[in-house]
Amino acid sequence: MSAHVICIASGSGIPIFSRKKGNLENFPFSVIGSLNGVHMFTKSLSITLLNTLMDDYCVVWKEYFESILIIGISSGCTKDALEKLLLSVFNAIMLILGVNEVRSLKNVEKIKRELRVIYPVIDRLLDCLDCGDSHSKYCSDLISLAEVILCNENHQIKIMLDTYTENISSAYTCILIHGKIAVATEEWWDLHPEELKLLAFLASSDSKSNIKDVPVFLPYKSPKTRYRLITCSPMPYMHICCLANQQHSLNEIERSAINCFNTNLEVLNSAIQCFPRNIPESLQLDLGVLGLLLLNKNRGKYLISTIPSSADKKRICSYSHRSDILRTFFYRSVLKFLHTKNNLHEYVKRECLLNDEIDSSFDKKEIKSDESYVSTVGTETYWCSEYHKCYAIAVEENVLCLMYNSTVPTYAMKHIARKVLKAITCNKQLCW
Amino acid sequence: MNEQQIDEEEDCSCDEWSSGSSYCDSESTIPEWDAFIEPNGQLLFIDCFPKVSHTASESNSSSNFFTKSQARQSTRSKFLRLLRRKNSKRFHKPIEIPVADNKVKFYDHPEGELREVIIKVNNDNQKLGPKNSLVESLLGLTVDTLSDGSRLMISGFDPDAIKHKGIKIGDWLKSINEVQVTCNNLDSVLESFVSLNEVTLKLQQVSGVEVTKHPPINKISIRSQFVQLLTNSNKEHSESLKEALASELVGVLFLKTEGLKEDSPEFEEVLYNFPMPYNKNILCTSRGAFLTLNHLINEMVSSKPHVSSINYKNQLAHVIYVSCGSKLLLFMFPDKCLSVEGSQLVAEEIFRTIEFMYQSLERFLETTSLRDEVDHFFLRVFTRILWPDTVQFSSDPKANKPWRFEDLLLGAKYLILPNEAQMQVDDALSELEASDYREWNEDPLDCQRLFTILGSALYHQGFLLTSHFVHDDLIDVTSFCKQQGLFYLSATEPLKCLVLWKEVFPSSCNRSLPNTESLFKVPEGKRYLLVVGGGKDLLAVLMEAGGCTETPEDNMGPDPFYVEEVEATLSHLKELGISDVADHCLQTNPGSQIVLPEGFCEKKKADFFSSLSKSTLSLNKEGPPHLQKKTEVTSILKRRSSDQGPLYTTGSVLSWNEDNLEDSVSQSSYSEKSEISDEPILGRRATREKKPFIDSPNDDSDIDDYRDGSQASTSSFDLSELRQNLIMESEDMQPMCLTGGTENVLFHYVQFDSTEGVLLLPPPCRVNSQLLQLILDNFHRCSRMIHETFKNTLRFKKMLAENMAKSVLNKSLIAIKEQGTLFELTVNDENPKKTQRISYWVVGRLFYDPHPREVYICYHESVPQNIVEVAYKLSLTLAG
């Protein structure tokens, strides 16, 4: 129901920013000071304070590069999800400041001003937490993963994008529909999932103008050299993004965008209609399926759809509720059981040891389990509630989570899931 | 039980009995534990048989713990005297604190006294298999060498076989029929006497120092560090253990949270700290952080913190908060042994035990006179946490294992006995609880009783056999015995006698605090826990002094009469064969209810093994010819002769074990299932229908019991027959196959009933299976997480409607009742190169009617299962 992130310069103890969502009051300065103080005190004893759990709340402390301390407080979500959120928030800071400035943190006042740009992104990140009763329109956001939308037109749009990419001589381009990636170049997909996520948020964050030019560092790919994220918006809810360097001219990029896309506006228009279902109308699923979440572990992308059957377009509120359940299932079940690398203990330890390592379990470079003698991998997981059932199956790099009506028998869930997975991944038009 | 042994038992006349037991050795009415009572009345007395490697089966040799005390029956006057005694005897003499090792006693005969003992030679017993030494099978004795390496010492004896005419453990066995014996010629000497009916043994009492350079007692004491830890008798060992603990991430801290000033001296707020010293204890040095967090978080989100995780020198640890009024108790546990969820559960259990033992945390930690006791308590608590399997210090880092899921839960592991045995146990306990001695005394008693018995429970190797406690008290007592290591003791040490006496504060009596809310008034008074153990059995009894009894004294010690009464009940049950039946249940279970994963790895191989096992099984069913004969002897009992496995006739626990081992090793147990599972219920029903017939002689004996007012007085004939019966029934008992399908695919299950405090799970697997270990490790981890999920559901169910709106509980989690995951385990063997792959489900299910019950199962994916069905069958087995 509520979440807070507080960012503090750990050397001086000066708060850099504090963002929140939900109905909790802002914390007074003394509380923030104490939270920081506790962490500092244990640090002086060479103890790292990691987190504190309550009934429903949890508090997580994380210091990055010995210069920035981020504290997260949230209710309803797991400690692991909150930890991931803090990493994303830190990456958002990196996106604006770059590694050098984050390390040195010379002028805190200046940094505070610079970071204002990123506030909308951080607020969106807070929406990634599952709180159990979210009615926000962003309740389909998942932490550390980039959301995609699958339209029937994706294949055509991809051809347009390729022309555009050639014209502007930058390999990093992508098209967002409603802030979700519709198509992108291979190079774009090679970016770290965290970067994909942050760039999409940054590009689609509310803006009056049709064209945006934001200087960004890439936390993983280029933490030291600045790029430019240029976003053109030929029509509402549609963004054409590219990463450019200093030589590119904004005008030129805008002109090529108009050239490449304006000729086929009706294609784009019909693609936009795909929202909020996020999958084409033509794709009909079993009636027992209430929602689906499909993700690709290697690319770090996911698709969420809570209106699987077109007959069932009634209450928007229940759709957001469904995606919230799917998210909770994902954080509490899929992340815990289907992503076990050998041993969770090892994983936790590694996370603790490499305090500075920027990492997530969806790292593109697979954690090399070289000569692993024993491995235990989860392949399916489910839970049954009084009101619904959730089921997830991992097939190669894809994980499909489905939310079912509680009347669907448990043994049938696997069968339906396999059919759905095949329908989506084998459809060439959708470009999954 | 062996035919021969029973025959002998019957032959034995009563006067031999009275001279036999160690209990009666004291000759007087002062029991041997009397000297160890502490000034506050508390007692922990442990007497063990020496652990001797020579003995093939320790369980056999240790079977004689207390025999019936002849004195009890005859002396009514003694009973009255005991009840009316004004002062306990211990106050008449200087109080001895047990400093020395008190495990093996060399009784008070003059040093070097020579004795001659005539012993029957048991010629029929030679078939007992190679593991039993000749001396054991012939004479019913077990021997070990004295420390000089050649002379022989009596290390144990079969109580049933010999009525040990003055033979004592620790005696030097000098000669047999005037032939000098040493360990080198023992067997050859014995062989020459095989044909004789009797031999004369010459024994000399050894007083340690005089005869050998290193008294055997030292040798023995090394093996039993655990007992030393328990009785706190070896200060040196405790000190080194404390040092070892200081280097681990463990600790407990009790703090004041109010009235603190900036300028107050350091450590002023610390009310208790372990391990000492203050400045070396991480928890103690960083206490400020947790104190601050405790009130800061309450201020922020008006919710108490439960646990903080910290990282110190690349090790993860969890700090648990337990608030109590204005004071704060902190525990620190290392993550390598206890996860976040586990830490909280264990802390809860420790807290509960403290309340049970000392009424409240404040009383426990702030009474300075208890300081040593408290230190010792936590020393054991942390030893158990760090080394859960051995409960002893081990320098091997691998010994720091993560806790098993079932050990985290507040409940007693329950072992299902056959109906008949169950009834006998219930009967015996009820009789003990009734404390009805009217028939015992011709004249009406003119005194009040000292105690009312609130309830009792019988444990075998840490498994609960029967509980007559209120549910909450069962949880209390079980946690207490677990924490105190009594279960571990009874499972691993050759226990001769254990007597524990302690004032306790059970939760059924509201911890003896006045309660205005409750409808029922708890009588004012004191409650005591009496635990008596022998062999692998423990009998725990809660007694109340107050209400209708005589007014309780302060610092009341154990009353010999009641201790004797409990001992008698225990030995009665032992004589009934309950212990053997339970052993049998423990040893056969893993073979039939669960299977080993090895068979599923490569199907072809499994088929081969299953066919193999079928052939051996059919062989077993017919039984070897000489055993068939024996069944005729017992055919008075009107049993189907096909029921007789080859096992019961040998009467040896060992042979059950062996058979079972063979079965499991050949990975066949699941196929065995397929034959038996055809009509499991039918089999059980058949047993039940037959019951009236079998029961009739027992009923008589029950009435006898009642008339005599003491279980000890039942005639031995009835008992041995009953015993036969029970053991035979346990042979018949085939645990039901829990999974559907013809093949058994179940690897493990745990059923947890938090209200009744009862856990149901298969006994530990005796076969060392690497795959099973890997699967179970993962099972424990997952079950912990599923348990955590169910906690949300339960919390929501209990939540009041008006609080629901306010609660920030994640609403997606409020009604989850089942969670499961399919895992694929891959094991790569380098040499030879092969890959084993096995897929299995771990599923948990929550049932909340009529009260919450959680079931966790782990099974091979080849046969899909419905956990509701499995749970149903599981509760059927529980219902009997």
B293/A38 CB distance under 8 A: yes
Question: How many other C-beta atoms can be found within 10 angstroms of the C-beta atom of residue B246?
Answer: 16
Question: Mean of the per-residue pLDDT values for chain A?
Answer: 84
Question: How many other C-beta atoms can be found within 10 angstroms of the C-beta atom of residue A137?
Answer: 12
CA atoms of A417 and A426, how far apart (whole Å): 14
A332/B316 CB distance under 8 A: no
Say whether both A122 and A9 belong to one domain: yes
Each residue's pLDDT tens digit, B624-671:
334 333 333 333 333 333 333 333 333 333 333 333 333 333 333 333
For the cut 90, the answer to whether the pLDDT of residue A93 exceeds it is yes
B826/A377 CB distance under 8 A: yes
The answer to whether residues B544 and B452 touch, using CB atoms and an 8 Å cutoff, is: yes
A50/B308 CB distance under 8 A: yes
For the cut 70, the answer to whether the pLDDT of residue B515 exceeds it is no
A374/B285 CB distance under 8 A: no
Domain B234-408: top CATH class: alpha beta
One CATH from 3.10.620, 3.30.450, 2.60.40, 3.30.70 for B412-579: 3.30.450
CB of A370 within 8 Å of any CB in chain B?
Answer: no
Maximum average pLDDT range among A345-354, B641-650, B741-750: B741-750
Among chain A residues, the shortest Cα distance to B822 is held by A380
The answer to whether residues B124 and B4 touch, using CB atoms and an 8 Å cutoff, is: yes
Contacts of A50 in chain B (CB under 8 A): 308-311, 316
What is the complex's ipTM, to 2 decimals? 0.89
User: What pLDDT sits at residue B818?
Assistant: 94
What is the arrangement of strands in the sheet containing B327-334, beginning at the earlier edge strand?
Answer: A15-22, A2-9, A68-75, A57-64, A47-53, B307-312, B315-324, B327-334, B251-256, B270-274
Q: Identify which of A54, A75, A380 has the shortest CB distance to residue B297.
A: A54
pLDDT, average across residues B840-855: 91
Question: How many other C-beta atoms can be found within 10 angstroms of the C-beta atom of residue B416?
Answer: 18
pLDDT, average across residues A277-287: 85
A382/B820 CB distance under 8 A: yes
The answer to whether residues B308 and B319 touch, using CB atoms and an 8 Å cutoff, is: yes
Verify cis geometry, omega within 30 degrees of 0, for the bond prior to B832: yes
CA distance A155 to chain B (A): 36
Contacts of B827 in chain A (CB under 8 A): 373-374
User: Which DSSP state fits B65?
Assistant: S
Among chain A residues, the shortest Cα distance to B789 is held by A332
pTM over 0.90: no
Residue A309 falls inside a structural domain: yes
Say whether both A263 and A296 belong to one domain: no
Contacts of A348 in chain B (CB under 8 A): 316, 335
Structure tokens at B609: 């093994």
A352/B311 CB distance under 8 A: yes
Q: B763 or A41: whose pLDDT is higher?
A: A41
Confidence of residue B703 (pLDDT cuts 50, 70, 90): very low
CA distance B337 to chain A (A): 11
Verify cis geometry, omega within 30 degrees of 0, for the bond prior to B265: no
User: What pLDDT sits at residue B141?
Assistant: 73
User: What pLDDT sits at residue A16?
Assistant: 93
pLDDT, average across residues B800-825: 84
B808/A57 CB distance under 8 A: yes
Q: B510 or A248: whose pLDDT is higher?
A: A248
Among chain A residues, the shortest Cα distance to B816 is held by A385
SS3 for B328?
Answer: strand
Domain assignments of chain B as residue spans, ordered by start: 3-30+104-220, 234-408, 412-579, 587-732, 746-879
Q: Which of A189-198, B154-163, B578-587 has the lowest mean pLDDT?
A: B154-163
Residue A132 falls inside a structural domain: no
For B508, residues 6+ apart whose C-beta sits below 8 A from its C-beta are B454, B469, B470, B472, B473
Confidence of residue B81 (pLDDT cuts 50, 70, 90): very low
One CATH from 2.30.42.10, 3.40.50.620, 3.40.50.150, 3.50.50.60 for B3-30+104-220: 2.30.42.10
CB of A375 within 8 Å of any CB in chain B?
Answer: yes
Tell me how many domains chain A contains: 3
For the cut 60, the answer to whether the pLDDT of residue A200 exceeds it is yes
CB of A352 within 8 Å of any CB in chain B?
Answer: yes
Say whether both A250 and A297 belong to one domain: no
Q: Identify which of B810, B825, B839 has the shortest CB distance to residue A132.
A: B810
User: What pLDDT sits at residue B7?
Assistant: 38
The answer to whether residues A405 and A290 touch, using CB atoms and an 8 Å cutoff, is: yes
Say whether both A73 and A167 belong to one domain: no
User: What pLDDT sits at residue B518?
Assistant: 65
pLDDT, average across residues A397-417: 91
A54/B305 CB distance under 8 A: yes
Range of the domain at A206: 153-272
Percent of chain B scored above 90 by pLDDT?
12
CATH number at residue A417: 3.30.450
Contacts of B803 in chain A (CB under 8 A): none
A329/B866 CB distance under 8 A: no
Say whether both A194 and A261 belong to one domain: yes
Each residue's pLDDT tens digit, B408-453:
888 899 888 888 888 888 988 888 888 776 666 666 666 677 888 8
Q: B494 or A379: whose pLDDT is higher?
A: A379
Say whether both A236 and A327 belong to one domain: no
The answer to whether residues A114 and A215 touch, using CB atoms and an 8 Å cutoff, is: no
Residue A282 falls inside a structural domain: no
Say whether both A218 and A111 belong to one domain: no
Q: Identify which of B296, B307, B785 has the shortest CB distance to residue A53.
A: B307
- Mutate: best of B339, B812, B814, B868, partner A, most A CBs <10 A: B812
Q: Identify which of A59, A131, A374 has the shortest CB distance to residue B297.
A: A59
Each residue's pLDDT tens digit, B307-360:
999 999 888 999 999 988 888 999 999 998 899 999 999 999 999 999 898 888
B822/A27 CB distance under 8 A: no
CATH number at residue A257: 3.30.450.30
Domains B234-408 and B412-579 share a fold: yes
